[in-house]
């Protein structure tokens, strides 16, 4: 699975169980949806899920996991190319090569994010998906599943310690494995959800949900820079790379960076809680984050009856060893207002 700061893979089932204990069915808004891990778990368990993100890259994963399913028709692509199955699509992508691509030059020749052999294959798959998109052969969910699958497969051979802000100086053992395009595993669910691209407050204000789940950024990491390559690839547009930067980030700062910063503040959390309708408000936070826990508690008490739970979780680490941290889950009931 793609490595991503703030992923709740180790606690998703616990969060889903907690929400199910509050309301067995209903609607949930995941305002900081990330790669859609929590949303996918909730969808699988029968909830109607809406997710948000300001970056195209996680939004793409959210479309695949919240709106899509593991098998899609690819009707136009099949008709155009006489393709009979999704296995044939993956075979075409695994046989695609682009040795002269910008991706090869920038991220294998100039910077060792990938071996050249793998970069040629990754670029080949990316350019093929881009062509299919430009020819109008893909719908929204098909395009998202293709891109999410490509990025997830790419990350498995990336020569990084976890993000795309820097590369290792020598090739890690995972980086020398041969790239292989594999379909991202989408589990689906009873209901088709909604994946929204944009600032959570803009997307969700005025809407009503049974549960508003908030998992805001915990620190000052710039997600737009840390994941600039998958972000650029998700847009299906070639970025203009800053040759002076070792990480190869695009020259122009990502406009969503301001929105990400806003989401790190308690004032933003309060605005969301006030402007979105909910029966239950759940805020998922951790020790040592930007907002002191006591500040968070005081802010949330204004909105209703507050309960707090502590969950052990796996922290982000670049080594083989695991790091356990404690997550705090604040639950506010609007019925007590």
Question: Model confidence over 196-227: pLDDT tens digits?
Answer: 999 999 999 999 999 999 998 877 778 888 99
pLDDT band at 242 (very low <50, low <70, confident <90, very high): confident
pLDDT, average across residues 306-331: 70
pLDDT above 90 for 76: yes
* Residue 317 pLDDT: 46
Residues 285 and 140 in one domain: no
Residues 135 and 206 in one domain: no
Task: Give Cβ neighbours of residue 100 (< 8 Å, ≥ 6 apart).
Answer: none
Residues 313 and 205 in one domain: yes
In a domain, 232, yes or no: no
Average pLDDT, the chain: 91
In a domain, 227, yes or no: no
Residues 176 and 90 in one domain: yes
Residues 214 and 66 in one domain: yes
Query: Which of 99-103, 157-161, 175-179, 261-265 bottoms out in mean pLDDT, i.e. has the lowest?
Result: 261-265
pLDDT above 50 for 322: no
pLDDT band at 4 (very low <50, low <70, confident <90, very high): confident
Q: What is the DSSP string of 271-319?
A: HHHHHSEEEEEEEEEETT-SS-HHHHHHHHHTTSEEEEEEEEEEPP-SS
The pTM (predicted TM-score) of the whole model is 0.92
Query: Which of 215-219, 231-235, 330-334 bottoms out in mean pLDDT, i.e. has the lowest?
Result: 215-219
In a domain, 57, yes or no: yes
Task: Give Cβ neighbours of residue 149 (< 8 Å, ≥ 6 apart).
Answer: 64, 90, 181, 182, 183, 184
Sort strands 305-314 and 324-333 into parallel, antiparallel or unpaired: antiparallel
Quick one: which of 35, 53, 34, 54 has its CA closest to 255?
Answer: 54
* Residue 324 pLDDT: 56
**Number of domain units in the chain:** 2
In a domain, 6, yes or no: yes
Distance CA 1, CA 266 (A): 31
Residues 55 and 120 in one domain: no
**Domain of residue 275, CATH code:** 3.40.50.150
* Residue 320 pLDDT: 53
pLDDT, average across residues 260-273: 85
* Residue 316 pLDDT: 46
Query: Which of 27-36, 208-217, 236-245, 265-274 bottoms out in mean pLDDT, i.e. has the lowest?
Result: 236-245
Residues 50 and 142 in one domain: no
Distance CA 218, CA 276 (A): 21
User: What's the chain's Rg over C-alpha atoms?
Assistant: 20
Sheet with 48-53, edge to edge strand ranges:
194-197, 48-53, 27-30, 208-214, 277-286, 324-333, 305-314
* Residue 60 pLDDT: 98
Give residue-wise pLDDT tens across range 272-315.
Answer: 999 999 999 999 998 877 889 999 999 999 999 999 999 876 54
Residues 82 and 164 in one domain: yes
Residues 101 and 166 in one domain: yes
In a domain, 127, yes or no: yes
In a domain, 229, yes or no: no
Where in the sequence is the domain holding 98, given as residue range(s)? Answer: 73-184+239-256
Distance CA 3, CA 5 (A): 7
Q: Are 12 and 39 in contact (CB under 8 A)?
A: no
pLDDT above 80 for 184: yes
* Residue 325 pLDDT: 66
Q: Strands of the chain (E only): list them.
A: 27-30, 48-53, 194-197, 208-214, 277-286, 305-314, 324-333
In a domain, 166, yes or no: yes
Residues 131 and 52 in one domain: no
Q: How far is CA 291 from the centre of its chain?
A: 23
Residues 120 and 207 in one domain: no
Residues 211 and 297 in one domain: yes
In a domain, 231, yes or no: no
Q: How far is CA 138 from the centre of its chain?
A: 21
pLDDT band at 236 (very low <50, low <70, confident <90, very high): very high
Q: Give 254's DSSP letter.
A: P
Q: Are 209 and 19 in contact (CB under 8 A)?
A: no
């Amino acid at each position: 699975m793609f490595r991503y700061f703030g992923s709740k893979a180790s606690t998703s089932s616990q969060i889903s169980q907690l929400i199910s204990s509050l309301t067995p069915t209903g609607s949930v808004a995941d305002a900081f949806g990330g790669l859609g891990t929590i949303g996918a778990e909730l969808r699988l368990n029968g909830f109607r899920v809406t997710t948000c993100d300001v970056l195209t890259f996680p939004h793409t994963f959210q479309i695949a996991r919240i709106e899509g399913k593991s098998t899609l028709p690819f009707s136009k692509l099949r008709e155009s190319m006489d393709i009979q199955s999704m296995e044939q699509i993956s075979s075409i992508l695994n046989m695609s090569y682009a040795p002269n691509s910008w991706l090869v030059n920038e991220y294998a020749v100039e910077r060792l994010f990938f071996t050249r052999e793998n970069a040629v294959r990754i670029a080949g798959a990316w350019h093929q998906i881009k062509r299919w998109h430009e020819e109008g052969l893909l719908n929204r969910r098909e395009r998202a599943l293709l891109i999410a699958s490509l990025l997830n497969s790419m990350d498995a051979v990336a020569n990084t310690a976890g993000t795309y802000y820097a590369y290792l100086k020598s090739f890690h053992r995972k980086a020398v494995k041969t790239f292989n395009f594999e379909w991202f595993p989408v589990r689906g669910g009873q209901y088709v959800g909604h994946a929204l691209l944009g600032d959570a407050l803009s997307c969700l204000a005025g809407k009503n949900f049974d549960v508003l789940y908030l998992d805001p950024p915990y620190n000052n990491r710039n997600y737009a820079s840390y994941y600039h390559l998958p972000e650029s690839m998700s847009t299906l547009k070639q970025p203009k790379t800053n040759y002076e930067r070792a990480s190869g980030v695009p020259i122009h700062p990502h406009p969503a960076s301001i929105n990400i910063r806003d989401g790190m503040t308690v004032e933003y959390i309060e605005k969301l809680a006030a402007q979105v309708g909910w029966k239950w408000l759940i805020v998922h936070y951790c020790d040592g984050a930007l907002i002191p826990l006591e500040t968070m508690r005081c802010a949330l008490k204004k909105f209703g009856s507050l309960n707090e739970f502590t969950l052990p979780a796996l922290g982000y680490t670049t080594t083989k060893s695991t790091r356990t941290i404690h997550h705090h889950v604040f639950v506010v009931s609007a019925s007590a207002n």
